Structure formats: C-alpha cells, structure tokens
Amino acid sequence: MQAPVLSGPDYLRQGLKLVLSPGLRLFVLLPLTINLVLFFGLIYLAGHQFSLWVDTLMPSLPNWLSFLSYILWPLFVVLVALMVFFTFTLLANIIAAPFNGFLAEKVEAVLRGSDQSPPFSWSELFAMVPRTLSRELRKLGYFLPRTIALFILSLIPMVNLIAAPLWLVFGIWMMAIQYIDYPADNHKLGWNEMLAWLREKRWKSLSFGGSVYLALLIPFVNILMMPAAVAGAVVFWVREEGEKALVPTRAR
C-alpha cells in the first residue's frame, strides 16, 4: 500500500517509538550524551550573545522610519534563532555521525526482522568513522555555499526580510537530507543518487524534514528527537523501498 504523500510525521513517530524500545536504548545513549553537552554549551553562548547578534543584523533605519523597528525586531529574533538552530544541528550531526550511522544499521536490522542483537562493539563503531565523517564533509560541502548565500542575503537591508522564510525552507530540506543520508550511506548509495531519490519523493521528503525541523526546535525535546529522526529516516528508507535506488548505481 502506497504511503500518504505527507507521511513524514508518522515516520518520525515510528522512529521515536523504536529508539525508546529496550533493544535500541544502548545505541541511543552515546549520541544523546554528545547532543546534551553540545546543546547546553550552545544555549549558554546564545544566552550571552543573542541580543548582540540581533542588533548586528538589524538594519539601521532613519528616524522617520524608526517605528518599523518594532515590526522588524521579531523577524530578526526568528532569523538569529534559526541560525543558532542550524549551527547546533550541524555540529551535533558531525560529532555524532558515526554513532548515528551505527544506530541506523541497528534500526534497519530490527525493522527487517534480521536483528540478532549482537553485543555493542567499539571496533565496529570505530570502523565506521572514516566513512561517516567523509559523508558529513560532503553534506557540509552542499550546505555551506547555500548557507553563506543566505547569510549574505540576511545582511542586505530590506532584502533580508525574505531571509527567514528562505532559511526555513532550506532548513526543512536539509533535515531530510541529513537524516535520510544515514541509511542511504549504509547501503553505499552515492550522494547524487541519494539527492535524486529524495527529489523523486519531494513532498514525502519535505514532510519528513518539516516534522523533524519542528521537533528539533523544541528545547530539550530536540535532544531525544535527533536519534528519533535517525530511526524515522530508516523507517522512511525501508517503507519507501530505498534499496531500489541502488540498482542504477550498481549497473554503472
């Protein structure tokens, strides 16, 4: 049966249920601890610098337009909040990439009914580090030029009014890419092939990315939502038969 076009929230819900199950809790604990440390560190920094960042980005208005500052200020608060969120998500995923790749493998084994519940292996985890970090750098290469363009747009007076919605749309798309890439990479699906597969399922991808994005914006809830998003992405991959995207790659 074909999944609904906007099935993303359900995939995330199933992912949360999976990471809370006894058999997978161990594989969630390590990335969860990393995310907690990073989250509180970034919250501390943002708490001391947030107003300064907002004031820096706010355009200087002539006196006769000063009343607009009351309208523009909330927009720039949202803009800075989105930028802080992007930074936290990016750093957390780079640091936790090997753990997330390992978690994605275990979730898929459970979903396919092939889980033999092997003991946790540090050697197996460390063996994934070069590949997962290489893939994260590839994501960074996709992410940074677009982020820089959006940041420059955010600095241009008046034009920067459209920056917040553009950050939002780009953020939703990046959430889909970030988490679907874990099962795709575990199956050795190439970067461009993975992007093409997501574009074929654009609305499902955006609904998943949007649900993850909203969940990650909720303080403290976002700590648990990161591993849940990894598991939800695996559910997405399995339900949408992502392995079929491997056929063109193997044929070359």
Q: Model confidence over 108-145: pLDDT tens digits?
A: 988 888 765 455 666 666 777 777 778 888 888 898 89
Look at residue 50 in the predicted model and tell me its pLDDT: 61
Give the count of domains, the chain. 1
Sequence-ordered strand ranges (E) for the chain: none
DSSP-assigned letter for residue 252? -
pTM of the model: 0.74
Domain annotation covers residue 180: yes
Question: Is residue 252 domain-resident?
Answer: no
- Structural domain includes residue 107: yes
| Mean pLDDT rounded to a whole number for the chain | 77
Inform me whether the pLDDT recorded for 249 exceeds 50: no
Has residue 250 been placed in a domain?
Answer: no
**Domain annotation covers residue 43:** yes
Residue with tokens 């058999």: 23
Q: Is the CB of residue 126 less than 8 Å from the CB of residue 98? A: yes
Interval 161-187: pLDDT, tens: 787 788 888 989 999 999 999 999 888
Whole-Å CA distances, 244 to 155, 173, 200: 43, 22, 12
Expressed as residue numbers, the domain containing 181 is 8-57+70-115+122-241
- Please state, in angstroms and as integers, the Cα–Cα distance from residue 225 to each residue in 1, 71, 102, following that order: 27, 32, 17
Phi first, then psi, for residue 90 (nearest 5°) are -60, -50
Assess if residue 251 is contained within a domain.
no
Q: What would the pLDDT profile of 75-88 be if each residue is shown by its tens digit?
A: 666 666 666 666 66
